[in-house]
Structure 1
Amino acid sequence: MAKPAAEDSGQDKVRETSATRVYVVLRNEILTMKLPPGAALDEAGLAERFDMSRSPIREALARLSAEGLITTLANRTTMVAPMDFARVPEFLDALDLLQRVTTRLAALHRTQDDLVRIREAQKAYERGIATSLKTGDSLPMIEMNYEFHMTIARTGRNAYFEELYRRLLEEGRRMLHLHFEYKASEPDVNVQEMASDHTEIVRAIEMRDADRAERFAHEHAEQFKGRFMEFLDRNITAGIPLTYSPGSRER
Protein backbone atom coordinates (compact mmCIF):
# COMPACT_ATOMS: atom_id res chain seq x y z
CA MET A 1 0.00 0.00 0.00
CA ALA A 2 1.38 3.38 -0.98
CA LYS A 3 2.25 5.84 1.77
CA PRO A 4 0.06 8.94 2.03
CA ALA A 5 1.40 11.90 0.05
CA ALA A 6 1.60 14.03 3.18
CA GLU A 7 3.79 11.42 4.89
CA ASP A 8 6.09 11.19 1.85
CA SER A 9 6.39 14.97 1.78
CA GLY A 10 7.32 15.08 5.45
CA GLN A 11 10.02 12.45 4.99
CA ASP A 12 11.39 14.27 1.95
CA LYS A 13 11.62 17.49 3.96
CA VAL A 14 13.48 15.75 6.80
CA ARG A 15 15.89 14.16 4.33
CA GLU A 16 16.45 17.51 2.58
CA THR A 17 17.15 19.23 5.91
CA SER A 18 19.57 16.47 6.92
CA ALA A 19 21.32 16.57 3.55
CA THR A 20 21.66 20.35 3.78
CA ARG A 21 23.21 20.11 7.24
CA VAL A 22 25.77 17.56 6.04
CA TYR A 23 26.48 19.63 2.93
CA VAL A 24 27.09 22.83 4.91
CA VAL A 25 29.38 21.16 7.47
CA LEU A 26 31.46 19.31 4.88
CA ARG A 27 31.63 22.30 2.54
CA ASN A 28 32.91 24.55 5.32
CA GLU A 29 35.48 21.96 6.36
CA ILE A 30 36.69 21.58 2.77
CA LEU A 31 36.95 25.33 2.15
CA THR A 32 38.93 25.88 5.36
CA MET A 33 40.99 22.72 4.74
CA LYS A 34 39.94 21.01 7.93
CA LEU A 35 39.27 18.32 5.34
CA PRO A 36 42.48 18.55 3.28
CA PRO A 37 42.76 17.94 -0.46
CA GLY A 38 42.76 14.22 -1.18
CA ALA A 39 41.00 13.24 2.07
CA ALA A 40 38.77 10.20 1.64
CA LEU A 41 35.03 10.57 2.25
CA ASP A 42 33.37 7.29 3.18
CA GLU A 43 29.57 7.16 3.12
CA ALA A 44 29.39 4.70 6.00
CA GLY A 45 31.77 6.74 8.11
CA LEU A 46 29.89 9.96 7.38
CA ALA A 47 26.54 8.31 8.18
CA GLU A 48 27.96 7.26 11.55
CA ARG A 49 29.46 10.69 12.18
CA PHE A 50 26.22 12.53 11.47
CA ASP A 51 24.03 9.79 12.93
CA MET A 52 21.79 9.44 9.90
CA SER A 53 21.10 7.13 6.97
CA ARG A 54 23.20 7.10 3.81
CA SER A 55 20.50 8.73 1.65
CA PRO A 56 21.02 12.34 2.87
CA ILE A 57 24.79 11.71 2.88
CA ARG A 58 24.64 10.82 -0.82
CA GLU A 59 22.57 13.92 -1.57
CA ALA A 60 25.07 16.13 0.25
CA LEU A 61 28.00 14.53 -1.61
CA ALA A 62 26.20 15.04 -4.92
CA ARG A 63 25.92 18.78 -4.20
CA LEU A 64 29.59 18.99 -3.25
CA SER A 65 30.53 17.12 -6.42
CA ALA A 66 28.49 19.55 -8.53
CA GLU A 67 30.52 22.40 -7.02
CA GLY A 68 33.80 20.64 -7.81
CA LEU A 69 34.74 20.27 -4.14
CA ILE A 70 34.84 16.46 -4.17
CA THR A 71 35.54 13.89 -6.84
CA THR A 72 34.77 10.21 -7.33
CA LEU A 73 37.38 7.94 -8.84
CA ALA A 74 36.86 5.04 -11.22
CA ASN A 75 36.91 2.61 -8.28
CA ARG A 76 34.07 4.67 -6.69
CA THR A 77 36.33 6.10 -4.00
CA THR A 78 35.09 9.59 -3.05
CA MET A 79 37.62 12.17 -1.93
CA VAL A 80 38.09 15.90 -1.43
CA ALA A 81 39.14 17.43 -4.74
CA PRO A 82 42.93 17.76 -4.99
CA MET A 83 44.73 21.06 -5.45
CA ASP A 84 47.38 20.89 -8.15
CA PHE A 85 49.61 23.88 -7.55
CA ALA A 86 51.52 23.16 -10.74
CA ARG A 87 48.51 24.66 -12.54
CA VAL A 88 48.17 27.73 -10.32
CA PRO A 89 49.75 30.07 -12.93
CA GLU A 90 47.16 28.90 -15.50
CA PHE A 91 44.34 29.46 -13.03
CA LEU A 92 45.56 32.94 -12.12
CA ASP A 93 45.92 33.94 -15.79
CA ALA A 94 42.36 32.82 -16.47
CA LEU A 95 41.08 34.58 -13.36
CA ASP A 96 42.80 37.81 -14.44
CA LEU A 97 41.26 37.68 -17.92
CA LEU A 98 37.71 36.91 -16.76
CA GLN A 99 37.91 39.46 -13.95
CA ARG A 100 38.95 42.16 -16.39
CA VAL A 101 36.23 41.46 -18.93
CA THR A 102 33.37 41.08 -16.41
CA THR A 103 34.36 44.26 -14.59
CA ARG A 104 34.71 46.18 -17.84
CA LEU A 105 31.27 45.08 -18.98
CA ALA A 106 29.80 46.04 -15.61
CA ALA A 107 31.10 49.59 -16.05
CA LEU A 108 29.56 49.77 -19.51
CA HIS A 109 26.16 48.29 -18.73
CA ARG A 110 25.40 49.00 -15.07
CA THR A 111 22.13 50.62 -14.11
CA GLN A 112 21.42 52.56 -10.95
CA ASP A 113 19.83 49.46 -9.43
CA ASP A 114 22.94 47.46 -10.30
CA LEU A 115 25.06 50.07 -8.58
CA VAL A 116 22.98 49.76 -5.41
CA ARG A 117 23.53 46.00 -5.41
CA ILE A 118 27.27 46.36 -6.03
CA ARG A 119 27.63 48.85 -3.17
CA GLU A 120 25.68 46.54 -0.87
CA ALA A 121 27.92 43.63 -1.88
CA GLN A 122 31.00 45.73 -1.12
CA LYS A 123 29.69 46.62 2.35
CA ALA A 124 28.89 42.96 2.98
CA TYR A 125 32.43 42.06 1.91
CA GLU A 126 33.88 44.57 4.36
CA ARG A 127 31.73 43.10 7.14
CA GLY A 128 32.92 39.65 6.11
CA ILE A 129 36.56 40.71 6.37
CA ALA A 130 35.94 42.25 9.80
CA THR A 131 34.32 39.04 11.02
CA SER A 132 37.09 36.88 9.59
CA LEU A 133 39.83 38.99 11.14
CA LYS A 134 38.05 38.95 14.49
CA THR A 135 37.32 35.22 14.58
CA GLY A 136 40.13 33.80 12.48
CA ASP A 137 37.50 32.03 10.35
CA SER A 138 38.06 32.78 6.66
CA LEU A 139 34.58 31.71 5.52
CA PRO A 140 32.76 35.06 5.94
CA MET A 141 35.39 36.79 3.81
CA ILE A 142 35.44 33.98 1.23
CA GLU A 143 31.67 33.95 0.79
CA MET A 144 31.31 37.72 0.56
CA ASN A 145 34.21 38.00 -1.88
CA TYR A 146 32.41 35.51 -4.13
CA GLU A 147 29.13 37.44 -3.90
CA PHE A 148 30.86 40.76 -4.65
CA HIS A 149 32.52 39.54 -7.82
CA MET A 150 29.46 37.62 -9.00
CA THR A 151 27.30 40.72 -8.50
CA ILE A 152 29.65 42.54 -10.85
CA ALA A 153 29.67 39.65 -13.32
CA ARG A 154 25.86 39.60 -13.46
CA THR A 155 25.88 43.35 -14.05
CA GLY A 156 27.95 42.78 -17.22
CA ARG A 157 25.01 40.90 -18.74
CA ASN A 158 26.98 38.24 -20.57
CA ALA A 159 25.86 34.79 -19.38
CA TYR A 160 28.87 33.02 -20.90
CA PHE A 161 31.46 35.19 -19.17
CA GLU A 162 29.42 35.02 -15.97
CA GLU A 163 29.38 31.22 -15.95
CA LEU A 164 33.09 30.88 -16.73
CA TYR A 165 33.96 33.40 -14.02
CA ARG A 166 31.69 31.63 -11.51
CA ARG A 167 33.56 28.37 -12.07
CA LEU A 168 36.92 30.08 -11.49
CA LEU A 169 35.74 31.80 -8.32
CA GLU A 170 34.37 28.55 -6.93
CA GLU A 171 37.58 26.69 -7.74
CA GLY A 172 39.64 29.44 -6.12
CA ARG A 173 37.83 29.49 -2.77
CA ARG A 174 40.36 27.24 -1.03
CA MET A 175 43.19 29.33 -2.45
CA LEU A 176 41.49 32.38 -0.98
CA HIS A 177 41.45 30.66 2.42
CA LEU A 178 45.22 30.16 2.24
CA HIS A 179 45.61 33.76 1.08
CA PHE A 180 43.57 34.97 4.06
CA GLU A 181 45.73 33.02 6.50
CA TYR A 182 48.79 34.62 4.97
CA LYS A 183 47.34 38.15 5.11
CA ALA A 184 45.92 37.71 8.61
CA SER A 185 49.41 36.94 9.90
CA GLU A 186 50.56 40.49 9.07
CA PRO A 187 50.63 42.68 12.19
CA ASP A 188 48.94 45.77 10.71
CA VAL A 189 46.29 44.11 8.55
CA ASN A 190 42.90 45.85 8.59
CA VAL A 191 39.57 45.91 6.79
CA GLN A 192 40.30 49.06 4.76
CA GLU A 193 43.54 47.66 3.38
CA MET A 194 42.06 44.31 2.42
CA ALA A 195 39.00 45.94 0.82
CA SER A 196 40.83 48.75 -0.98
CA ASP A 197 41.02 46.98 -4.36
CA HIS A 198 37.28 46.40 -4.36
CA THR A 199 36.67 50.02 -3.41
CA GLU A 200 38.57 51.24 -6.47
CA ILE A 201 36.69 48.84 -8.72
CA VAL A 202 33.34 50.11 -7.41
CA ARG A 203 34.36 53.73 -8.01
CA ALA A 204 35.32 52.99 -11.60
CA ILE A 205 32.00 51.25 -12.23
CA GLU A 206 30.17 54.20 -10.68
CA MET A 207 31.99 56.51 -13.10
CA ARG A 208 31.18 54.23 -16.06
CA ASP A 209 34.90 54.28 -16.81
CA ALA A 210 35.45 50.92 -18.49
CA ASP A 211 39.21 51.35 -18.96
CA ARG A 212 39.71 52.30 -15.33
CA ALA A 213 37.47 49.45 -14.14
CA GLU A 214 39.41 46.92 -16.21
CA ARG A 215 42.74 48.31 -15.00
CA PHE A 216 41.80 48.01 -11.32
CA ALA A 217 40.36 44.54 -11.91
CA HIS A 218 43.68 43.53 -13.47
CA GLU A 219 45.68 45.08 -10.62
CA HIS A 220 43.44 43.28 -8.12
CA ALA A 221 44.14 39.94 -9.82
CA GLU A 222 47.86 40.69 -10.05
CA GLN A 223 48.01 41.61 -6.38
CA PHE A 224 46.30 38.37 -5.40
CA LYS A 225 48.71 36.47 -7.64
CA GLY A 226 51.74 38.16 -6.08
CA ARG A 227 50.59 37.59 -2.52
CA PHE A 228 49.67 33.99 -3.22
CA MET A 229 53.02 33.21 -4.79
CA GLU A 230 54.71 34.77 -1.76
CA PHE A 231 52.60 32.47 0.36
CA LEU A 232 53.82 29.45 -1.61
CA ASP A 233 57.41 30.62 -1.38
CA ARG A 234 57.12 30.56 2.41
CA ASN A 235 56.04 26.93 2.05
CA ILE A 236 53.38 27.24 4.73
CA THR A 237 51.44 24.42 3.10
CA ALA A 238 54.25 21.90 3.21
CA GLY A 239 52.18 19.50 5.31
CA ILE A 240 49.07 19.60 3.10
CA PRO A 241 48.67 16.96 0.36
CA LEU A 242 48.05 19.39 -2.48
CA THR A 243 48.51 17.00 -5.39
CA TYR A 244 47.18 13.52 -5.86
CA SER A 245 47.72 10.79 -8.37
CA PRO A 246 44.57 8.68 -8.87
CA GLY A 247 46.67 5.75 -10.04
CA SER A 248 48.31 5.42 -6.65
CA ARG A 249 44.92 4.61 -5.08
CA GLU A 250 43.72 2.27 -7.80
CA ARG A 251 46.62 -0.14 -7.77
Structure 2
Amino acid sequence: MKRNVEELDRDDAQAPSQDRKATLAQALRHRILRMELAPGASLDEVALAEEFGLSRPPVRELMRQMAAEGYIELEANRTARVASMNYDSLRNYFLAAPLIYVATTKLAAAHATQAEIDGLKRIQERFRAAVEGNAVDERVLENDHFHFAIGKMAHNPYLLPSLCRLLIDHARLGKTFYQPRDERMDAELAEAVQQHEDIIDAIQRRDADAAGEIVREHVYLARRNMASYVAPEGVAVAIEF
Protein backbone atom coordinates (compact mmCIF):
# COMPACT_ATOMS: atom_id res chain seq x y z
CA MET A 1 0.00 0.00 0.00
CA LYS A 2 1.37 3.44 -0.93
CA ARG A 3 1.91 5.91 1.87
CA ASN A 4 0.38 9.35 1.39
CA VAL A 5 2.33 12.59 1.27
CA GLU A 6 1.19 13.69 4.74
CA GLU A 7 2.62 10.51 6.33
CA LEU A 8 5.96 11.00 4.58
CA ASP A 9 6.12 14.65 5.65
CA ARG A 10 5.37 13.66 9.23
CA ASP A 11 8.19 11.09 9.19
CA ASP A 12 10.60 13.72 7.85
CA ALA A 13 9.63 16.09 10.65
CA GLN A 14 10.06 13.41 13.32
CA ALA A 15 13.48 12.21 12.16
CA PRO A 16 15.47 15.23 13.45
CA SER A 17 13.70 14.98 16.81
CA GLN A 18 14.64 11.31 17.08
CA ASP A 19 18.24 12.20 16.26
CA ARG A 20 18.29 14.86 18.98
CA LYS A 21 16.78 12.42 21.46
CA ALA A 22 19.48 9.86 20.63
CA THR A 23 22.13 12.56 21.06
CA LEU A 24 20.69 13.49 24.47
CA ALA A 25 20.64 9.82 25.52
CA GLN A 26 24.29 9.36 24.58
CA ALA A 27 25.31 12.61 26.27
CA LEU A 28 23.51 11.75 29.52
CA ARG A 29 24.98 8.26 29.64
CA HIS A 30 28.49 9.62 29.09
CA ARG A 31 28.06 12.39 31.67
CA ILE A 32 26.90 9.87 34.25
CA LEU A 33 29.62 7.32 33.50
CA ARG A 34 32.31 10.00 33.55
CA MET A 35 30.94 11.35 36.85
CA GLU A 36 30.33 14.76 35.27
CA LEU A 37 26.89 14.27 36.79
CA ALA A 38 27.45 13.11 40.36
CA PRO A 39 25.44 10.29 41.96
CA GLY A 40 22.21 11.74 43.31
CA ALA A 41 22.44 14.91 41.18
CA SER A 42 19.13 16.39 40.02
CA LEU A 43 18.33 16.41 36.30
CA ASP A 44 16.56 19.49 34.97
CA GLU A 45 14.15 18.37 32.22
CA VAL A 46 13.56 21.93 31.02
CA ALA A 47 17.28 22.70 30.74
CA LEU A 48 17.96 19.41 28.93
CA ALA A 49 15.06 20.01 26.54
CA GLU A 50 16.42 23.46 25.70
CA GLU A 51 20.01 22.26 25.37
CA PHE A 52 19.12 19.54 22.86
CA GLY A 53 16.24 21.29 21.08
CA LEU A 54 13.52 18.93 22.30
CA SER A 55 10.09 19.31 23.84
CA ARG A 56 9.56 17.91 27.32
CA PRO A 57 7.57 14.74 26.39
CA PRO A 58 10.49 13.01 24.59
CA VAL A 59 12.81 14.04 27.45
CA ARG A 60 10.42 12.46 29.98
CA GLU A 61 10.21 9.33 27.81
CA LEU A 62 13.99 9.11 27.76
CA MET A 63 14.12 9.55 31.54
CA ARG A 64 11.81 6.56 31.96
CA GLN A 65 13.97 4.50 29.62
CA MET A 66 17.18 5.43 31.44
CA ALA A 67 15.55 4.70 34.79
CA ALA A 68 14.76 1.19 33.54
CA GLU A 69 18.42 0.83 32.53
CA GLY A 70 19.61 1.94 35.98
CA TYR A 71 21.20 5.29 35.10
CA ILE A 72 18.69 7.47 36.92
CA GLU A 73 16.06 7.23 39.66
CA LEU A 74 12.46 8.39 39.30
CA GLU A 75 10.06 8.99 42.17
CA ALA A 76 6.56 10.44 42.11
CA ASN A 77 6.46 14.22 42.50
CA ARG A 78 10.25 14.48 42.61
CA THR A 79 12.90 15.63 40.17
CA ALA A 80 14.71 12.86 38.30
CA ARG A 81 18.10 12.11 39.84
CA VAL A 82 21.26 10.32 38.80
CA ALA A 83 21.36 6.84 40.33
CA SER A 84 22.79 7.02 43.84
CA MET A 85 25.84 5.16 45.11
CA ASN A 86 25.31 4.46 48.80
CA TYR A 87 26.79 1.77 51.01
CA ASP A 88 24.03 -0.77 50.31
CA SER A 89 24.15 -0.34 46.53
CA LEU A 90 27.94 -0.57 46.50
CA ARG A 91 27.92 -3.66 48.72
CA ASN A 92 25.47 -5.28 46.29
CA TYR A 93 27.76 -4.29 43.42
CA PHE A 94 30.83 -5.89 45.00
CA LEU A 95 28.84 -9.04 45.79
CA ALA A 96 27.37 -9.39 42.30
CA ALA A 97 30.29 -8.26 40.12
CA PRO A 98 32.42 -11.43 40.21
CA LEU A 99 29.38 -13.66 39.65
CA ILE A 100 28.15 -11.77 36.59
CA TYR A 101 31.55 -11.10 35.02
CA VAL A 102 32.69 -14.70 35.42
CA ALA A 103 29.43 -16.11 34.01
CA THR A 104 29.35 -13.82 30.97
CA THR A 105 33.04 -14.27 30.19
CA LYS A 106 32.87 -18.05 30.40
CA LEU A 107 29.84 -18.10 28.12
CA ALA A 108 31.61 -15.75 25.71
CA ALA A 109 34.43 -18.27 25.44
CA ALA A 110 31.88 -20.91 24.51
CA HIS A 111 29.70 -18.94 22.10
CA ALA A 112 31.58 -15.95 20.63
CA THR A 113 31.92 -15.72 16.87
CA GLN A 114 35.23 -14.80 15.26
CA ALA A 115 33.74 -11.49 14.10
CA GLU A 116 32.82 -10.69 17.72
CA ILE A 117 36.30 -11.60 18.93
CA ASP A 118 37.83 -9.36 16.26
CA GLY A 119 35.57 -6.54 17.46
CA LEU A 120 36.71 -7.11 21.04
CA LYS A 121 40.34 -6.83 19.91
CA ARG A 122 39.60 -3.45 18.32
CA ILE A 123 38.03 -2.21 21.55
CA GLN A 124 41.11 -3.40 23.44
CA GLU A 125 43.36 -1.46 21.05
CA ARG A 126 41.42 1.72 21.87
CA PHE A 127 41.52 0.94 25.59
CA ARG A 128 45.28 0.40 25.54
CA ALA A 129 45.75 3.64 23.58
CA ALA A 130 43.64 5.52 26.15
CA VAL A 131 45.76 4.11 29.00
CA GLU A 132 49.02 4.93 27.26
CA GLY A 133 47.72 8.39 26.34
CA ASN A 134 46.51 9.09 29.90
CA ALA A 135 42.98 9.78 28.63
CA VAL A 136 41.01 8.96 31.77
CA ASP A 137 37.48 9.40 30.40
CA GLU A 138 38.31 7.30 27.35
CA ARG A 139 39.77 4.60 29.60
CA VAL A 140 36.49 4.44 31.49
CA LEU A 141 34.32 4.30 28.37
CA GLU A 142 36.48 1.80 26.47
CA ASN A 143 36.63 -0.49 29.50
CA ASP A 144 32.83 -0.28 29.62
CA HIS A 145 32.69 -1.16 25.91
CA PHE A 146 35.08 -4.07 26.48
CA HIS A 147 33.01 -5.80 29.14
CA PHE A 148 29.70 -4.98 27.41
CA ALA A 149 31.02 -6.60 24.22
CA ILE A 150 31.87 -9.73 26.21
CA GLY A 151 28.35 -9.69 27.67
CA LYS A 152 26.88 -9.63 24.16
CA MET A 153 29.23 -12.44 23.12
CA ALA A 154 27.76 -14.61 25.88
CA HIS A 155 24.48 -14.66 23.92
CA ASN A 156 22.41 -14.93 27.10
CA PRO A 157 19.41 -12.57 27.41
CA TYR A 158 19.10 -13.21 31.16
CA LEU A 159 22.63 -12.13 32.06
CA LEU A 160 23.02 -9.10 29.79
CA PRO A 161 20.62 -6.76 31.67
CA SER A 162 22.37 -7.52 34.96
CA LEU A 163 25.76 -6.88 33.36
CA CYS A 164 24.56 -3.56 31.93
CA ARG A 165 23.45 -2.42 35.38
CA LEU A 166 26.79 -3.45 36.89
CA LEU A 167 28.71 -1.58 34.23
CA ILE A 168 27.14 1.75 35.22
CA ASP A 169 28.65 1.61 38.70
CA HIS A 170 31.80 -0.11 37.41
CA ALA A 171 32.47 2.91 35.22
CA ARG A 172 31.72 5.39 37.99
CA LEU A 173 33.86 3.57 40.52
CA GLY A 174 36.48 3.07 37.85
CA LYS A 175 37.21 6.78 37.82
CA THR A 176 39.39 6.08 40.88
CA PHE A 177 41.07 3.05 39.33
CA TYR A 178 41.87 4.83 36.07
CA GLN A 179 43.51 7.80 37.81
CA PRO A 180 46.50 6.18 39.55
CA ARG A 181 47.80 8.17 42.53
CA ASP A 182 50.96 6.19 43.17
CA GLU A 183 53.31 3.62 41.63
CA ARG A 184 51.35 0.65 42.96
CA MET A 185 48.11 1.83 41.37
CA ASP A 186 49.94 2.61 38.13
CA ALA A 187 51.36 -0.92 38.06
CA GLU A 188 47.91 -2.38 38.74
CA LEU A 189 46.46 -0.43 35.84
CA ALA A 190 49.13 -1.89 33.56
CA GLU A 191 48.25 -5.34 34.89
CA ALA A 192 44.58 -4.72 34.13
CA VAL A 193 45.46 -3.93 30.52
CA GLN A 194 47.35 -7.22 30.26
CA GLN A 195 44.45 -9.10 31.84
CA HIS A 196 42.22 -7.80 29.05
CA GLU A 197 44.66 -9.30 26.57
CA ASP A 198 44.66 -12.60 28.47
CA ILE A 199 40.84 -12.66 28.53
CA ILE A 200 40.75 -12.21 24.76
CA ASP A 201 43.30 -14.99 24.33
CA ALA A 202 41.30 -17.39 26.52
CA ILE A 203 38.08 -16.59 24.62
CA GLN A 204 39.92 -17.09 21.32
CA ARG A 205 41.11 -20.51 22.54
CA ARG A 206 37.59 -21.42 23.74
CA ASP A 207 38.99 -22.00 27.23
CA ALA A 208 36.01 -21.04 29.38
CA ASP A 209 37.63 -22.00 32.68
CA ALA A 210 40.73 -19.90 32.00
CA ALA A 211 38.62 -16.95 30.83
CA GLY A 212 36.52 -17.12 34.00
CA GLU A 213 39.54 -17.28 36.29
CA ILE A 214 41.28 -14.35 34.59
CA VAL A 215 38.22 -12.12 34.81
CA ARG A 216 37.79 -13.09 38.47
CA GLU A 217 41.35 -11.92 39.14
CA HIS A 218 40.57 -8.80 37.08
CA VAL A 219 37.65 -7.94 39.38
CA TYR A 220 39.71 -8.52 42.52
CA LEU A 221 42.52 -6.37 41.16
CA ALA A 222 40.19 -3.39 40.74
CA ARG A 223 38.26 -3.90 43.98
CA ARG A 224 40.69 -2.19 46.36
CA ASN A 225 40.98 0.97 44.30
CA MET A 226 37.27 1.08 43.55
CA ALA A 227 36.45 0.65 47.23
CA SER A 228 38.40 3.83 47.98
CA TYR A 229 35.35 5.67 46.64
CA VAL A 230 33.42 4.87 49.81
CA ALA A 231 36.08 5.67 52.41
CA PRO A 232 38.73 8.33 53.00
CA GLU A 233 42.29 7.45 52.07
CA GLY A 234 43.86 5.27 54.72
CA VAL A 235 40.56 3.84 55.98
CA ALA A 236 40.10 0.13 55.31
CA VAL A 237 36.93 -1.00 53.57
CA ALA A 238 35.93 -4.61 54.15
CA ILE A 239 33.46 -5.75 51.51
CA GLU A 240 33.43 -9.50 51.07
CA PHE A 241 32.64 -11.30 47.84
Output the TM-score relative to the length of structure 2.
Answer: 0.78
Q: Specify the code of the residue in structure 2 equivalent to 1:46.
A: L
Runs of 4+ off more than 6 Å: none
Secondary structure at the residue paired with 1:164?
Answer: helix
In 2 relative to 1, CA 123–186 (structure 1 residues): closer, same or farther, beyond 3 Å? farther
In the comparison of the two structures, how many residue pairs are matched?
229
Cα deviation, 1:1-40, whole Å, max 9, x if unaligned, reads xx92122112211211221222222222222122111111
8 A Cα contact 2:72 2:83, kept in partner: yes
Unaligned runs of 5+ in 2: 235-241
Secondary structure at the residue paired with 1:27?
Answer: helix
8 A Cα contact 1:119 1:202, kept in partner: no
Q: Specify the code of the residue in structure 1 equivalent to 2:197.
A: T
How far apart are residue 132 of structure 1 and its match?
5.8
Match of 1:65 among 64, 67, 82: 67
Match of 1:4 among 6, 13, 19: 6
8 A Cα contact 1:126 1:195, kept in partner: no
Matched, 1:217 2:215: yes
Match of 1:156 among 150, 154, 157: 154
Matched, 1:147 2:145: yes
Alignment of 1:219-238 (within 5 A): 219-230=217-228, 232-235=230-233
Q: Specify the code of the residue in structure 2 equivalent to 1:33.
A: M
Cα deviation, 1:35-83, whole Å, max 9, x if unaligned, reads 1111111222333444543234334433432321112112142111111
In 2 relative to 1, CA 21–135 (structure 1 residues): closer, same or farther, beyond 3 Å? farther
Secondary structure at the residue paired with 2:133?
Answer: helix
8 A Cα contact 1:68 1:171, kept in partner: no
Cα distance in 2 between the residues matched to 1:52 and 1:165: 31
How far apart are residue 216 of structure 1 and its match?
1.0
Query: Which residue is equivalent to 2:39?
Result: 37
In 2 relative to 1, CA 33–48 (structure 1 residues): closer, same or farther, beyond 3 Å? same
In 2 relative to 1, CA 152–78 (structure 1 residues): closer, same or farther, beyond 3 Å? closer
Q: Specify the code of the residue in structure 1 equivalent to 2:42.
A: A
Cα distance in 1 between the residues matched to 2:58 and 2:156: 35
Secondary structure at the residue paired with 2:124?
Answer: helix
Secondary structure at the residue paired with 1:128?
Answer: helix
8 A Cα contact 1:118 1:148, kept in partner: no
Query: Which residue is equivalent to 2:120?
Result: 121
Unaligned runs of 5+ in 1: 237-251
Cα distance in 2 between the residues matched to 1:122 and 1:128: 10
Query: Which residue is equivalent to 1:106?
Result: 108
In 2 relative to 1, CA 50–106 (structure 1 residues): closer, same or farther, beyond 3 Å? closer
Cα distance in 2 between the residues matched to 1:205 and 1:21: 33
How far apart are residue 189 of structure 1 and its match?
4.0
Output the TM-score relative to the length of structure 1.
Answer: 0.76
Query: Which residue is equivalent to 2:130?
Result: 131
Q: Specify the code of the residue in structure 2 equivalent to 1:127.
A: R
Cα distance in 2 between the residues matched to 1:189 and 1:93: 25
In 2 relative to 1, CA 90–204 (structure 1 residues): closer, same or farther, beyond 3 Å? same
